[in-house]
Structure 1
Amino acid sequence: MVVSPAGTVARVRGLHAQNRAVNHAEAGQRCAVNLAGADLKRAEPARGDWLVAEAAHAPATWLDVRLQVLASEAKALGTRGNWQLHLGAAAVGARLPPLDADALAPGTTALARLVLDRPVAAVWGDRFILRDPAANRTVAGGWVVDPFGPVRGRARPARVAQLVALALPDVVQALVAALEVSPEGLDLSAFARARNLLPADLDSLMARIGLYTFSAQGSVWAVSDTRWLACRTRLLTLVDQWHTEQPDSLGPDEAALLAAWGADEAPPTRALLRAALASLVDDGALVRDGLRWRRHSHRVALSAEDEALLDQTLACLLPGGLRPPIVGELATALGRPLPELLPWLERLARQGLLVRVAPNRYYPPEAVAGLIADARALASERADGSCDAAAYRDRTGIGRNLTVQVLEFLDRVGVTRFDGVRHRLLS
């Protein structure tokens, strides 16, 4: 068990209800729990803490809520005031930026975000009151809609529509409605935690609703079947258009696909895009070559001279594995002047037949796939899904300087993201 929100691990040694030792207790009973744990002396449970299963431990530092202002208030609640939130047995300082109204007038009900002075444990439906500590009076009350809202974009119309859906009391209706207004996907793991659902409950819920799940940001996300089918269909259309308009190119990369998506439909997130592309590859509808996607039947049409030079270039690059020769060495091996070779290499990179990883180094697409595979393997060995330059250098054996260039390249193409210390693998 975990004492939340502190995160202290504890073991239950005994349980008393109504002054008697029992094996289980129910809501409404006066209970005492005998806890044991090495960290309890350092972080003793405090008033307002919860004793939860490890999977349910998810402290929240802000709460998206449905708030009702008392009609007896003389004026609207300001967004700059300091309030006191009473949630369960906890009392926490809070600020109140509204989500769907500039001010909360007396007697009105609106969505709002409570930004807290310290984390609390909360789930959907938890009721609370809001007090003015200076005047020592209650000013509003309400209930929690989403304790795991996004950091940014809290007042965007799409987010407000999502909160309206999440506020529905029926869990099935809430999930269906939230998926309909979430074209980028819905964090299903957060939804289950917010609704306090057991894994079996979530599995049963998913079986009743048409949705598709994918991984993103360390969680399970979901989109409606309609959105999933639309994404796949749109991707195939974009790849076909690319082949028609640019027959001398291998195919589009992720950035090109997102740029060509169009304004008539919301573009997918990177995670959703990659999940849809992976499913199309699994189904045999697309082929992945390095960082680009193409149809099985598509081949780049090169002149006989370019075809011969490409074969010679690959014969020089492939033996190098993850450390192919730099452009100067390549020019010497091919017997070509460097000023003449560079524009040709850049053209092949635009066509997708080569990948420019560093200013002076080009890779075959299959070698780029190896660079990505090593980054993923390293990230999978760490709980935080990251890799650093030293570990990547040791795994690949490509040297420190090239390792830095490769990791910067992986950041640019969206495989990883540098947080200032480590490169974290994206979906």
Structure 2
Amino acid sequence: VRDEHWQPTSLFEAVVTLEPGMGAALTPRTRLRLHAGASEVGARLVSAAAEPGSGAAALMRVTTDAPLAIRGGDRFVLRLPAPLRTIGGGVVIDPYARRRPLPHPSVQELDKLSAESGARLAYTLEAESGRGVPAHDIPVRAGCAPAEAHNLIGQSGARGGTNNLFTPVAVERVMGSVRRIIAEYEITAPLSMGVPARTLREGLRVDEELADISIREMERAGEIESDGPLVRKSGWVPSPSERDVEASNHLVHDICAGTQEPPSVGELVSRYGSSVPALLRFLERQGRIVQVETDRYYDRSTLEAMIGRLRTKLVPGQVYVPAQLRDVLGFSRKYLIPFLEFCDRNGITERRGEGRILRQTGGILLDTSRAHS
């Protein structure tokens, strides 16, 4: 084990065996002397059992007065300081354990933990199920040779991320949460193309690596799919209700009727209610309308006609100020400037000083995926 991956510790979990009669006499405040290799330090014990049985192995948390360089499988001896007397010993199970409620393994499980590095790895992975275990810590925590770590990890079935390992149970638990969040989002936002990835991850409330592994496995299995910043159930298609369809038709009618000066999103909300923003995004994905500015959508054919008029009336390379462009297009500055900024973003026009030029090449007629950025 390389030095940088073997850090001293002053708290670890171990299988401890005490001499007959000692279990009931010890409390978490009893100070002992712990001997491990050439090191001797003060120590205290906390048992998983309310009263550890004397002469029987028990899982305990060991806290030392000074850090020790130990690893899984290392043995140690426990002594009373005065009068000096050996009262038991143990085997290190997890040298980097955290404070937590201790589990209650059976006698057979304790025997395996004492004897097998694979059992210690499984125990550590379960203890750190939500946090993960750094892969480079496995030789120290499981107590195996570095060359054996790869095979040991494979036998454990652990899922690996960039740095950490997680149990299959932890991954499956997160996958269940992904299914729940997506299903709930489909109910609350039936017109959406999926759950925003950020919303999904915030809802999971787990380690980023664990979330990555779980989502990746679901994608590989064809259960979910990612589309840019959105995640959805594979094959999901928005399903507007009859009421949504009716409201959508009203929105399209009002936007078309406005021609070059359509109503704002705020005005449409005041007419048809809070579902308007979601319906507008749905209509845009269908290609029926295009978002030109944050608060305004245009009918697609109307917008195409406006762009066509620019290309017909303007001379490429010549600079036109807003007043000239207003005369060409025939609508007020309130609508003109956002429209010109839309054309700039889509490569139709280019700003030059106080005016704009029509680009000779490039530019798109309309691409709703780039209509507003």
Specify the TM-score bucket, using the shorter chain as the normaliser.
Answer: 0.5 to 0.7
2:236 alignment partner AA = H
Alpha-carbon separation, structure 1, partners of 2:114 and 2:144: 16
Find the counterpart in structure 2 of residue 201 from structure 1.
Answer: 148
Q: Does 1:278 align with 2:216?
A: yes
Find the counterpart in structure 2 of residue 129 from structure 1.
Answer: 77
Gaps of at least 5 residues in structure 1 are 1-51, 260-267, 312-332, 354-361, 363-427
Q: Does 1:85 align with 2:31?
A: no
Please tell me whether the aligned partners of residues 132 and 166 of structure 2 are also in contact (alpha carbons under 8 angstroms): yes
Please tell me whether the aligned partners of residues 70 and 139 of structure 1 are also in contact (alpha carbons under 8 angstroms): yes
Alpha-carbon separation, structure 1, partners of 2:116 and 2:23: 35
Match of 2:232 among 289, 294, 315: 294
Residue identity over aligned pairs, in percent, reads 21
Alpha-carbon separation, structure 2, partners of 1:165 and 1:269: 32
Please tell me whether the aligned partners of residues 179 and 185 of structure 1 are also in contact (alpha carbons under 8 angstroms): no
Find the counterpart in structure 1 of residue 14 from structure 2.
Answer: 65
Q: Return structure 1 stretches of 4+ with deviation > 6 angstroms.
A: 177-183, 305-309
Please tell me whether the aligned partners of residues 11 and 96 of structure 2 are also in contact (alpha carbons under 8 angstroms): yes
Alpha-carbon separation, structure 2, partners of 1:205 and 1:290: 37
Alignment of 1:8-407 (within 5 A): 53-71=2-20, 73=22, 75-98=24-47, 100-151=48-99, 153-156=100-103, 164=110, 167-172=113-118, 174-175=120-121, 187=133, 189=135, 190-208=137-155, 210-215=157-162, 219-224=163-168, 232=175, 235-236=178-179, 239=182, 243=186, 247-252=190-195, 253-254=199-200, 271-281=209-219, 285-288=223-226, 293-300=231-238, 301=240, 303-304=247-248, 334=264, 336=266, 344=274, 348=278
The structural deviation recorded for 1:142 is 1.3
The structural deviation recorded for 1:65 is 0.9
1:288/1:176 Cα in 2 relative to 1: closer, same or farther (>3 Å)?
A: same
Q: Which structure: larger Rg? A: 2
RMSD between aligned residues: 4.8
3-state SS, counterpart of residue 186 of structure 2: helix
The structural deviation recorded for 1:242 is 5.1
The structural deviation recorded for 1:67 is 1.1
Figure out how many residues of one structure are paired with residues of the other and give that number: 263
Q: Deviations over 1:68-97 (max 9, x none)?
A: 111254942111122221111111122212
Using the size of structure 2 for normalisation, the TM-score is 0.54
The structural deviation recorded for 1:195 is 3.0
1:171/1:108 Cα in 2 relative to 1: closer, same or farther (>3 Å)?
A: closer
1:135 alignment partner AA = P
3-state SS, counterpart of residue 139 of structure 2: helix
Alpha-carbon separation, structure 2, partners of 1:204 and 1:307: 62
Gaps of at least 5 residues in structure 2 are 256-262, 284-293, 295-373
Please tell me whether the aligned partners of residues 60 and 120 of structure 1 are also in contact (alpha carbons under 8 angstroms): yes
Q: Deviations over 1:154-211 (max 9, x none)?
A: 42559x99x8487152334554677689865862633332234344322233444544
Find the counterpart in structure 2 of residue 417 from structure 1.
Answer: none
Alpha-carbon separation, structure 2, partners of 1:299 and 1:272: 28
Please tell me whether the aligned partners of residues 66 and 145 of structure 1 are also in contact (alpha carbons under 8 angstroms): yes
1:202 alignment partner AA = A
3-state SS, counterpart of residue 96 of structure 1: strand
1:128/1:248 Cα in 2 relative to 1: closer, same or farther (>3 Å)?
A: same
Please tell me whether the aligned partners of residues 63 and 148 of structure 1 are also in contact (alpha carbons under 8 angstroms): yes
- Structure with the larger helix share: 2
Using the size of structure 1 for normalisation, the TM-score is 0.48
Higher relative contact order (CA 8 A, sep 6+): 2
1:181/1:119 Cα in 2 relative to 1: closer, same or farther (>3 Å)?
A: closer
